[in-house]
Amino acid sequence: MPGQKRKIAFLFPGQGRIPQGLPPTSDVGGRLFKLAAERGLPLQEWITSGSLDLLHRTEYAQPAVLIDSLAKEEALRGNGVKLGIVAGHSLGEYTALVSAGLLTPEEALLVVIERGRLMARVEGGMAAIVKLPVEEMRAICGRIGSGVAVANYNGPRQVVISGEQKALKEAVAAAEQAGGRAIPLRVSGPFHSPLMTEAQAALVPQIESLSFNPPSVPVVSSVSGKVETDPVRLKTLLLTQITACVRWVDVVNSLVASGVTCAVEVGPGEILTGLGRRITLQVQFVTFKEALDG
Is 254 part of the annotated catalytic residue set?
A: no
Residues 6+ apart with CB under 8 A from 215: 97, 100, 101, 102, 229, 231, 234
Q: With CA atoms as reference, report the closest residue to 215 among 106, 93, 116.
A: 93
Is 89 part of the annotated catalytic residue set?
A: no
Distances (CA, A) of 215 to 38, 93, 103, 178: 29, 13, 9, 44
Please identify which of the residues 26, 69, 90, 254 carries the catalytic annotation. 90
- Length of the chain in residues, anyone? 294
Q: What is the DSSP string of 81-147?
A: ---SEEEESTTHHHHHHHHTTSS-HHHHHHHHHHHHHHHHTS--EEEEEESS-HHHHHHHHHHH-TT
Please identify which of the residues 69, 89, 162, 192 carries the catalytic annotation. 192
Query: Rounded CA gap, 142 and 22, in Å?
Result: 42
Across the chain, where does the E strand assignment appear? 8-12, 85-88, 125-130, 148-155, 158-163, 181-184, 219-220, 227-228, 262-265, 284-286
| 171 phi and psi angles, rounded to 5 deg | -65, -40
Show which residues are catalytic. Answer: 90, 192
